[in-house]
Structure 1
Amino acid sequence: MKRKEQYQDFHDFIIEGTMLCLEKYTINELPLTEVCKKAGVSRMTVYRHFKNKEEVVLEYFELIYDKFLKELLELESINSLILSEKLVGLFVEQEEEIEKAVKGNYYSLIFQVFAQKMTIFL
């Protein structure tokens, strides 16, 4: 496996491990040792990839919203009705993640990423 691919794999494992742990913990309570166990990486590896837990969550939602915006840009035409329908669809798809974010006390991070991405889009 190439070094770049391994780096990306570890990066993805950390994101997945963090999001799994957030099913049990709030973001403030989340122990890094738990993330390391779920991700199968060391503490040092986590810190090589991310500054903090919030950065992991931000990246997770950036990927989701980037995909959503890419789909919007691929539409032949878009108006306020189509945009509204697509946004409702996104929020329905993300219902569990949003509920988890409210319980885990990191919903403001979701809003931050969403607002940033929509500002760029509009």
Structure 2
Amino acid sequence: MEIKDYKLFGITKTQASIVNVMLRLLQNHSLQALPITTICMEADVGRATFYRHFESKEDIIKLYLRVVTDRYFSIVQDISNLTIEKLAGTYFEYWSTEKAFIDIVYKNNMSMLLLEENQYIEKHIQALNSNVFPQLSDEFTELENYYFHSFYFAGFWRLIFLWASRNYQETVDEMTAIFLKIHNSRGES
């Protein structure tokens, strides 16, 4: 859980250092109890430098979310013949490698922060429309597609946090099967 390849994501070495330090500190401290001064001391930067790059500690989480989301969608883009099954399996497999980050978000009650980043993630989700949900282009209006993607986005995140709340008892394959069962039963009464 760190940013090593910061140049790939258009962020500075200083930003990466601050993110990495804060994520490390959050493994033993709550976000609320972690002073910015401590982050600055550990990252060897001044407060002015911190505020040049971030407005708040939450902005650090948002930046890391952007990085890990870009990594995930980069993996998804490389999958040939993408299906909902492959998407779900890749999703749970990928986030299983980011359990430490998910735990930080979960323990600090920041799941809504991730949902607020929907506008950033939306561009990636729209790219999936033609591959995973091609039937929607004829069946749904543009507005309905927007709501559909938001619904799936929130549902996927909720499953991750429920998984975390259960200490990841289910395997990646079990989580994928659970999602697919839910997905395949939609619309049935």
TM-score category of the 2 structures, normalised to the smaller one: 0.7 to 0.9
State the structure with bigger RCO (CA 8 A, min sep 6), 1 or 2: 1
2:85 counterpart of 1:81: yes
Q: Is the 8 A contact 1:33 1:43 kept in 2?
A: yes
Aligned with residue 57 of structure 1, among 54, 58, 61: 61
Give, as a single letter, the amino acid of the residue that structure 2 aligns with 1:53.
Answer: K
Deviations 1:72-117 (A, max 9, x none): 112222011100101111221122221222223323323444x445
Matches of 2:83 and 2:121 in 1, distance apart? 15
Per-residue deviation at 1:57?
0.7
Larger Rg: 2
Q: Corresponding residue for 1:17?
A: 21
Q: Is the 8 A contact 1:21 1:34 kept in 2?
A: no
Give, as a single letter, the amino acid of the residue that structure 2 aligns with 1:59.
Answer: L
Give, as a single letter, the amino acid of the residue that structure 1 aligns with 2:93.
Answer: G
Q: Corresponding residue for 2:184?
A: none
Unmatched runs of 5 consecutive residues or more in structure 2? 1-6, 126-189
Matches of 1:64 and 1:36 in 2, distance apart? 23
Q: TM-score, normalised by structure 1?
A: 0.82
Q: Corresponding residue for 2:162?
A: none
Q: TM-score, normalised by structure 2?
A: 0.55
Where does 1:37-56 land on structure 2 (aligned, <5 Å)? 37-56=41-60
Q: Is the 8 A contact 1:22 1:104 kept in 2?
A: no
Q: Is the 8 A contact 2:23 2:101 kept in 1?
A: no
Give, as a single letter, the amino acid of the residue that structure 2 aligns with 1:30.
Answer: L
Per-residue deviation at 1:70?
1.2
Q: Corresponding residue for 2:139?
A: none
Q: Which has the higher helix share?
A: 1
Q: Corresponding residue for 2:124?
A: 121
Percent identical pairs in the alignment equals 21
Matches of 1:70 and 1:110 in 2, distance apart? 19
For the aligned residues, what is the CA RMSD? 2.1
Q: Is the 8 A contact 1:26 1:104 kept in 2?
A: yes
Unmatched runs of 5 consecutive residues or more in structure 1? none
Q: Corresponding residue for 1:91?
A: 95
